[in-house]
Amino acid sequence: FQEGVSAAAAPRRRRGGTASRRSMINRMRKSSYGSGATSKPAKPASTAFYEELFNRFKDSEDSDSIGPDGMEKLCEAIDVDPADVLMLVFAWCLGASQMGYFSREEWLSAVAKLGDVTSEAELKERAEEIHKSSLREPEALRELHQFAHKFCREERKKNIDVGSARIMLKLLLEPLYEEHVESLSRFLEQHAEVGKRGVSMDEWTMLLQFCREISPDCDNFQDDGAWPLLLDDYVEWRREETERERERE
């Protein structure tokens, strides 16, 4: 994620099949002059501002996307670190299909979720509000969590690599489930099998449910529950870790 949002990531072809987005409603204003003639309708301030930002940060004069270089400049303009969770929130709001890139269509669709903004500071504030809301609303967090898997996944691959999974867990779930995230991150780093194949969407989705339902010490975990093998292995590892900690005490 850090490499993709900053300029370090190598460009990849866009993936198709992005989720449908809500259509953006343009509100037009009319102005009358003298004999009743009307001027050309003006675009809403929010749309005009989004277009101004896009044109400022797009790759080149004739480009139809903001790439890694423009992304870094955008981050500077709104005072957000490229590795901050807010950049993932932006990508989610836009329905972005490729890490490190925003197309014109994706960027202008932001007005539907981020609303009427007229400054960089206000744009950042809206993203912060949406992020805070996702931490309060289970369904919003579930959607953002699933988007992160799709966003980090390489083209034609079904799993995300362990490094990306650990970064996303920290960004998305650490504010709510810090103890879980710290332990799961160590497990993923040490689990050789997962390191080879990565984390599937089903496993990724169940990680969030696991954090919500299971205590950090895994005392309420049912061995006969319908959890993926990855989490069965994690619980076994976690219990062994807990036992070793008790022995050291």
Domain of residue 103, CATH code: 1.10.238.10
Contacts for 104 with CB less than 8 Å, ≥ 6 apart: 54, 58, 64, 65
Last residue of a domain, one of 86, 104, 136: 136
Q: Which residues of 39-52 are buried (b: 16+ CB within 10 A; e: fewer)?
A: eeeeebebbebbee
Residues 129 and 142 in one domain: no
Q: Summarize pLDDT for 148-184 with one digit per residue, the tens.
A: 999 999 888 999 999 999 999 999 999 999 999 999 9
Domain annotation covers residue 28: no
Closest listed residue to residue 147, CA positions, set 126, 163, 131, 123: 131
Question: CA 58 to CA 73: how far, in whole Å?
Answer: 10
Domain annotation covers residue 24: no
**pLDDT for the residue 46:** 63
Residues 243 and 143 in one domain: yes
Closest listed residue to residue 69, CA positions, set 22, 8, 110, 122: 8
Residues 56 and 124 in one domain: yes
- Domain total of the chain: 2
Domain annotation covers residue 20: no
Residues 148 and 224 in one domain: yes
Residues 75 and 106 in one domain: yes
What DSSP designation does 221 have?
-
Report yes or no: 169 and 88 within 8 Å, Cβ to Cβ. no
pTM of model > 0.85: no
What are the two backbone dihedrals, phi and then psi, of residue 205, each rounded to the nearest 5 degrees?
-65, -40
**pLDDT for the residue 112:** 82
**pLDDT for the residue 245:** 79
**pLDDT for the residue 196:** 80
Contacts for 105 with CB less than 8 Å, ≥ 6 apart: none
**pLDDT for the residue 107:** 93
Containing structural domain, residue 153: 138-248
**pLDDT for the residue 38:** 38
pLDDT per 10-residue tile (average), the chain, 249 residues: 41 39 30 35 66 92 89 95 95 93 92 87 94 96 97 91 95 96 94 82 97 95 90 94 81
Question: CA 35 to CA 200: how far, in whole Å?
Answer: 66
Domain annotation covers residue 93: yes
Residues 160 and 98 in one domain: no
